[in-house]
Structure 1
Amino acid sequence: MPQISQIGEIYASQLFWLAIVFALIYVGIGKAMVPKIEATIEDRNGRIAGDIAAAEAARAAALASERDYQTGLESARAKATVALGEAKARAVAGTEAKLKTSDAALAAQLDAATGRIGAAKVQALAEIETNTVDAVEQIVAKLSGVAVDRVTIETQVKAELAHG
Structure 2
Amino acid sequence: MPQIAQLSATYASQIFWVLLVFGFIFFVIGRGMVPKVMQTVEARDKQIADDLMAAEAARKAADAEEEAWRKRENENRARAQAIIASAKGEAAKASESRLVAVHARLDAHLAEAEARIAAARDGAMAEIETVASEAAGDIVARIAGVTVDEAATRAAVKDVLAHG
TM-score between the two structures when normalised by the length of structure 2: 0.88
Partner of 1:59: 59
User: Hey, what's the Cα distance between the residues in 2 that align with 1:108 and 1:10?
Assistant: 139
> How many Å apart are 1:8 and its aligned residue?
3.7
Aligned-pair Cα RMSD in Å: 2.0
- Aligned pairs, number: 163
Partner of 2:103: 103
Residues 102-111 or 14-23, more deviating: 14-23
1:44-83 residue CA offsets vs partner (Å, 9 max, x unmatched)? 0121112112211221121122112211211121111111
User: Hey, what's the Cα distance between the residues in 2 that align with 1:9 and 1:109?
Assistant: 142
Partner of 2:7: 7
Are the structure 2 counterparts of residues 156 and 4 from structure 1 closer, same or farther at C-alpha, using a change threshold of 3 Å?
farther
Residues 121-130 or 147-156, more deviating: 147-156
Q: Percent identity?
A: 44
Partner of 2:131: 131
> How many Å apart are 1:86 and its aligned residue?
0.9
Partner of 2:144: 144
- Is the aligned partner of 1:28 residue 2:28? yes
Q: Structure 2: where are the runs of 5+ without partners?
A: none
SS at 1:65 equivalent: helix
> How many Å apart are 1:7 and its aligned residue?
3.1
> How many Å apart are 1:139 and its aligned residue?
1.8
> How many Å apart are 1:98 and its aligned residue?
0.7
Partner of 1:68: 68
The aligned amino acid for 2:29 is I
TM-score between the two structures when normalised by the length of structure 1: 0.88
- Is the aligned partner of 1:49 residue 2:41? no
User: Hey, what's the Cα distance between the residues in 2 that align with 1:86 and 1:125?
Assistant: 57
1:102-145 residue CA offsets vs partner (Å, 9 max, x unmatched)? 00001011111111211221121112112211121122112221
Partner of 1:155: 155
Aligned 1:108-119 pairs, distance under 5 A: 108-119=108-119
Q: Structure 1: where are the runs of 5+ without partners?
A: none
User: Hey, what's the Cα distance between the residues in 2 that align with 1:155 and 1:57?
Assistant: 110
